[in-house]
A and B are shown apart, each in its own frame.
Chain A
Amino acid sequence: MTDTTLDQFRTETRAWLAENCPPEMREPVRSEKDAVWGGRDQSNLTPAQKSWMDAMASKGWTVPDWPKAYGGGGLTPAETKILREEMAAIRARNPLNSFGISMLGPALLKYGTEEQKLTHLTKIAKGEIRWCQGYSEPNAGSDLASLATSAESDGDDYIVNGQKVWTSYADKADWIFCLVRTDKTSKQGGISFLLFDMASPGVSTKPILLISGNSPFCETFFDNVRVPKANRVYEENKGWDVAKYLLGHEREMISGMGLASTGGNPLIDGAIATVGLDHDGKLADPLLRASIAMFEVRSNAFGMMSERFIDELKAGRAHPAQPSMMKYYGTELNKSRYELMMASGGSDALEWESDRSNGGSTPRAWLRTKANSIEGGTSEVQLNIIAKRILDLPSA
């Protein structure tokens, strides 16, 4: 693609965004409720949220680089990058957060049948169906492949029994992508990857309250749930391949969470608001300033690493285990960002319920970040992967 065509694309994109992104969608997301997740039930969306999601979906720009046939924008990597830059320039919010986009979609694009792609991808792109992830079980966390939820063959269907845990938003999701055991004689070679409707008879969920006081997480129970075999992605007993591929994307998504693309810098703005600037224009608390500045060095450098990682991925040059490094570094960094947010917020940042604190959004977010280095594979597990697969260190 020539530079002039790209320049033209940029100009058009800028104009389109200016026209279609409502002002309310150019403010940073203030709390979890502020983020749009799509789904069958859209009654809780504000008009601005709904119009922004729909406008973006109409261009295929909720998933700009997916093929048009599946609801995507069919953009090249260079065009996708321009779109993201132009969105960042006006501090436009992500129109739609979705496990469908960041996790299931890429796995379906690679492993799904044509029919599965046509059925599910367009609905994901338009935010019509909300997905949740059924991986972890009470006795299968880091050692995920030891999972026990069973799927017995019964004609054209499977009968699924067992329990999942930590299923984020299971109570709000419409469908689940789920790992089940179809062969007890082989650990990793006995797992299959199933998709089914959470409204199926026999599915129930129970919330888990987190230390942040929020409860988007659930225990999920399957009691003789009937799932058509046509809903299995890829071959029977080969679900682990799909699961691992999807985990790579999940890690990528989690690693990017700390990189708020909505402009401004809440950490610095917050510190200036609480401790103030001295007559030289420096933060009036020199040690806090030093801690923030040192953090910003790493955080800026990690932003550059993220850019490099995306460029390398698009060019097919990234090491397949590199998402582990991104996940590890990004989540540890995000945790230290929130430690500093709490330190610079002082007693204001301790308020848990007040309006001024927006319902304790900072302390709740601070506590929530502690899970970043657990969910999607713990930091220790990522370090194991880097050591073995990238540095090629020997097994014990």
Chain B
Amino acid sequence: MPLYLNDEQTMLRDTAKDFVAEHAPVSHLRSLRDKKDEAGFSRDLWKSFAEMGFTGILIGEDEGGLGLGHVEAGIVLEEIGRNLSPSPFLTTAVAAVEALKGSPHAAKYFPGILSGDTVAALAIDEGAKHRDTVALKAERSGNGFKLSGKKQFVTHGHVADLLIVAARTAGSADDAEGITLFAVDRNAAGLTANPERLTDSSLAARIEFDGVEVDADAVIGEIDAGRTPLDRLLRAGRTGASAELLGVGGGAMDMTVGYLKERKQFGVTIGSFQALQHRAAHLYSEMEVARAAVLKAAQLLDQGSDRADHAVSVAKAMTALATTLSVQEGVQMHGGIGMTDEYDIGFYMKRARVLAEMFGDANFHAHKLATLSGY
């Protein structure tokens, strides 16, 4: 499979580009922020994503979705990133869908996801840094389980309809196995979600599980073998977050290059200064390399390749590096105006930081790559 978009994918990209730019440009984020919106995203916008069919990209055609793959999900996410559009697309239509695929929960939740009524959140992180560890306990109780422990960085966790929770049913926190994945109703008794506004003005919750009782049929996949759906969720989430980061970095770069062509100092456009040209050209190179990595990871995931994990970590680390450079250079090359709230470039810097952290930062994935490579 060649490493560029085919004709159908290019068409999808054009559609997504127009749609997101029209319905959720940066000004949409700005207005949500200015009115301190309590959801952090627009339910109406989520509905229109559904009307476009986007929420069903990864859902099979027999289940009412489009039956497409991670390449296509990434195409939509890149446009979401480019416009900094707040939406539960990554958590719901990508990560949660992948976790639920093939389980009885699919029949229960996919219709709501397809119609844009259901929002899912991922309760997988327990510390301030994303790790592959799970300590939150699930003990057998009655015909089900009782969950106790804490999660954090749960985006949309305070408004989601469904929480995907990684819990420990055997072994200790660092063990790879002994994990069980649960589909939990956010309104379950004993569950408190405390939302915090993040740097990029999105909301993420710290969640406490105080003996939350769930039925046995809340289990996604097999008891103690939740690693399988969890890994599926993580691969999809990491790849999707990379695609969104690519959009953030690309959007910031386009703004910056545009500014270089328009701003005049010393009687000439600043883009004619070689010192800035070289930095812009270097940035372009980093972004192109990151773009190739994202597409490769998505293609390998779609092919079910055993090289996918490797490529996913490369993509997540590489997009974090390139996009961080893009937003930093963006603010610097805009000069003073780049530091003003009125100008959009700062919004890119904030979103990039959040997405770089989500599902593991560059260091986490470089470490993972090293481990996968045996050193």
Contacts and interface: CB of A to CB of B under 8 A. Distances in A.
Contacts of A292: 370, 375
Given A282-B371, A293-B367, A325-B288, A304 B314 contact: yes
Contact of B292 (A294, A304, A393): A304
Contacts of B295: 304, 308
A386 B284 contact: yes
B96 to A, nearest CB: 28
B3 A308 contact: yes
A18 interface: no
Contacts of B281: 325, 328, 382-384, 386-387, 390-391
Identify whether the interface residues of A are mostly helix, strand, loop, or mixed: helix
A307 B296 contact: yes
Interface in B99-143: none
Contact of B272 (A329, A382, A394): A394
A388 B274 CA distance: 10
Given A383-B282, A387-B277, A396-B272, A268 B373 contact: yes
B89 to A, nearest CB: 24
A45 B324 CA distance: 50
B365 A297 contact: yes
B321 interface: yes
B151 to A, nearest CB: 27
A312 B2 CA distance: 8
A166 B111 CA distance: 68
Contacts of A272: 375
A43 interface: no
B194 interface: no
B233 interface: no
Contact of A302 (B261, B273, B282, B289): B289
A15 interface: no
Give the size category of B's interface with A. 35 or more
Contacts of A297: 313-314, 317-318, 321, 362, 365-366, 369
B257 interface: yes
B370 to A, nearest CB: 4
B321 A308 contact: no
B269 A394 contact: yes
A294 B362 CA distance: 8
Contact of A387 (B280, B366, B367): B280
A317 interface: yes
B3 A380 contact: no
A326 B145 CA distance: 55
Interface string B1-22: 0111000000000000000000
A277 B370 CA distance: 12
Interface in A273-312: 277, 281-283, 289-290, 292-294, 296-298, 300-302, 304-305, 307-308, 311-312
A394 B273 CA distance: 9
Given A301-B314, A391-B280, A290 B366 contact: yes
Contacts of A329: 285, 289
A308 B4 contact: yes
Contact of A304 (B280, B311, B369): B311
B374 to A, nearest CB: 7
A304 B370 contact: no
What's the dominant secondary structure at chain B's contact region? helix
Interface string A365-396: 00000000000000010111011101111111
Interface in A241-281: 265, 268, 271-272, 277, 281
B292 A328 contact: no
B375 A396 contact: no
A283 B293 contact: no
Contact of A268 (B269, B284, B375): B375
B290 interface: yes
Contacts of B273: 396
A325 to B, nearest CB: 5
B278 interface: yes
Contacts of B374: 268, 281
Contact of A298 (B4, B282, B289): B289
Contacts of A298: 289, 318, 321
A1 interface: no
Interface of B: 2-4, 257, 260-261, 268-269, 271-274, 277-278, 280-282, 284-285, 288-293, 295-296, 310-311, 313-315, 317-318, 321, 362-363, 365-367, 369-371, 373-375
Interface of A: 265, 268, 271-272, 277, 281-283, 289-290, 292-294, 296-298, 300-302, 304-305, 307-308, 311-312, 314-315, 317, 325, 328-329, 380, 382-384, 386-388, 390-396
17 contacts: A268-B373, A268-B374, A297-B318, A301-B314, A304-B289, A304-B292, A305-B288, A305-B289, A307-B292, A311-B2, A311-B4, A383-B278, A384-B278, A387-B277, A391-B277, A391-B280, A393-B272
